[in-house]
């Protein structure tokens, strides 16, 4: 569950990225994250736990320093004992931005789940620290995390597996590499299990910058598919057998490109009609 906020203090942004974000040319998503985190005084903590590649953390450290952050440090969290280290916690406590890399989201949840580092990330976000994550790092941000599933556009009973995530938000379930890996069906299935959740399907090189008021702003070269079950009239999930196709009637779907926004509180989407103006729908 998200940590309770502090009166008079705004929450930090929550920034799920669909994976494969641009790292060499425009770097719009990573640049905006650094700017939000303080620009030339930003202190970025990188958590490369999801990746088993030795240079993942160092590569992001180099990128964030090149983008102007005053400090960038990769935490060393390869086992659960590391997530209880005072040294690692001290780096987090001093950070203005936390970045969780891609890799295997189950590696993230099994190593970080229930540890002081996980609790610190929730608390820090509630008191103003911005938290971004790409690919696996995006999936783990919500309370309900997609751990795996089948490709394809059709929702089917049993086509997705869920596990607890970090809980920076309890309103969303997030899937990444969305269009590229054809993941509409498994996201719809995840929502069908609990229609309280809003589904975000995030394409590669695309991010949702979710502000302290719960408004999502789209950045990047792809799109975010928002699946809103607020007006769901009927679901066959309760009677479906393993592998059965699920009927869902009354879903609202938005496809949002750069410049669009969506309010998690009101369900209102808006698009950039021209620079400096938004039109709601």
pLDDT at position 35 is: 98
Output the pTM of the full model.
Answer: 0.96
Instruction: Please count the structural domains in the chain.
Output: 1
Containing domain of residue 226, as a range? 14-280
Assigned domain for 5 exists: no
Catalytic residue among 37, 135, 159, 235: 135
Catalytic residue among 177, 217, 235, 261: 177
pLDDT at position 274 is: 61
Is 204 assigned a catalytic role?
yes
Assigned domain for 104 exists: yes
pLDDT at position 67 is: 98
Over the chain (281 residues), the average pLDDT of each successive run of 10 is 81 98 96 98 98 97 98 98 97 98 97 98 98 98 97 98 97 98 98 96 98 97 98 97 98 96 96 62 57
Assigned domain for 7 exists: no
Assigned domain for 3 exists: no
User: Which domain CATH number covers 182?
Assistant: 3.40.50.880
DSSP string across the chain: -PPP--TT-PPPPEEEE-S----SS--HHHHHHHHHTTGGG-EEEEE-TT---TTHHHHHHHHHHHTT-SEEEE---SSGGGGG-HHHHHHHHT-SEEEE--S-HHHHHHHHTTSHHHHHHHHHHHTT-EEEEETHHHHTTBSEEEEEE--SSS-BTTSEEEEE---SBSSEEEE-STTTTT-HHHHHHHHHH-TTSEEEEE-TTEEEEE-TTSEEEEEESSEEEEEE-TT--EE-GGGPPTTPBPPEES-EEEEEETT-EEETTT--EEEEEETTEEEE-
Assigned domain for 9 exists: no
Is 54 assigned a catalytic role?
no
Is 280 assigned a catalytic role?
no
Assigned domain for 119 exists: yes
> If we measure between CA atoms, which residue out of 148, 142, 50 comes closest to residue 99?
50
Assigned domain for 156 exists: yes
pLDDT at position 16 is: 98
């Amino acid at each position: 569950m998200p940590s309770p906020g502090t009166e008079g203090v705004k929450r930090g942004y929550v920034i799920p990225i669909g994976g494969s974000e641009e790292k060499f040319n425009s770097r719009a998503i990573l640049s905006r994250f650094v700017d939000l985190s303080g620009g030339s005084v930003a202190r970025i903590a990188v958590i490369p736990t999801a990746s088993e590649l030795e240079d993942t953390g160092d590569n992001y450290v180099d990128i964030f320093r090149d983008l102007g952050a005053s400090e960038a440090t990769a935490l060393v969290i390869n086992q659960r004992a590391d997530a209880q280290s005072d040294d690692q916690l001290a780096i987090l406590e001093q950070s203005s931005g936390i970045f969780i890399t891609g890799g295997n989201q189950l590696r993230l949840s099994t190593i970080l789940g229930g540890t002081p580092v996980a609790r610190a990330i929730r608390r820090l976000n509630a008191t103003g620290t911005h938290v971004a994550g790409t690919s696996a790092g995006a999936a783990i941000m919500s309370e309900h995390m997609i751990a795996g599933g089948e490709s394809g556009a059709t929702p089917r009973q049993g086509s997705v597996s869920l596990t607890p995530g970090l809980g920076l938000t309890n309103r969303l379930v997030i899937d990444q590499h969305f269009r590229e890996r054809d993941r509409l069906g498994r996201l719809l299935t995840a929502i069908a299990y609990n229609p309280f959740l809003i589904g975000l399907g995030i394409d590669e090189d695309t991010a949702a910058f979710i502000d302290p008021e719960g408004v999502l702003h789209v950045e990047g070269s792809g799109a975010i598919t928002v699946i809103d079950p607020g007006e769901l009239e009927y679901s066959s999930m309760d009677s479906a057998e393993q592998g059965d196709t699920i009927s869902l009637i009354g879903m609202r779907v938005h496809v949002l490109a750069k410049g669009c926004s969506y309010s998690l509180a009101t369900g209102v989407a808006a698009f950039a009609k021209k620079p400096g103006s938004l039109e709601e729908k």
